[in-house]
Amino acid sequence: MIKLSCFLSLMAISLNILSQTISKNIIVDQFGYLPNSTKIAVIKNPKVGFDNAATFSPGQNYAIIDANSGKEVFTGKPAAWKSGATDASSGDMAWHFDFSSVTTVGDYLVLDVDNQKASYRFRISPAITTNTPTGQPITWLR
């Protein structure tokens, strides 16, 4: 009975994570981050250009979610780039969400708590520069 209860709890957590809509406007490094490196997600609101119809109004509350357990491991607020100005080259308004204090190896996603939108999954690991998610070595262009 305990095993069934644990299984059902894990399924509920997984369904909660899967119920988050992935947003292309919450941008992370999908190769991942080194544990002790700077870790910043970029949130964008397209204003001008090919994707200006995909507007996004970011919430005030963001979280880093452990993609395997569904647990919230960090919370914070995004900071506006240049006081909310639109970047001339991209045509986007942008915000930065710094989660550099998260150093535990694992798989995560960034969650816009207010809008229930999530980034793609990413990894924090000391091995991100040597292996891709498929296990193949990265070949760097020179």
CB-neighbour burial class of residue 38 (10 A; exposed 0-12, middle 13-18, buried 19+): exposed
> Using one digit for the tens of pLDDT, what is the confidence trace for 85-104?
999 999 999 999 999 999 99
pTM: 0.78
- pLDDT value for 4: 47
Average pLDDT over residues 137-142: 52
pLDDT band at 139 (very low <50, low <70, confident <90, very high): low
- Least confident window among 29-33, 71-75, 99-103, 128-132: 128-132
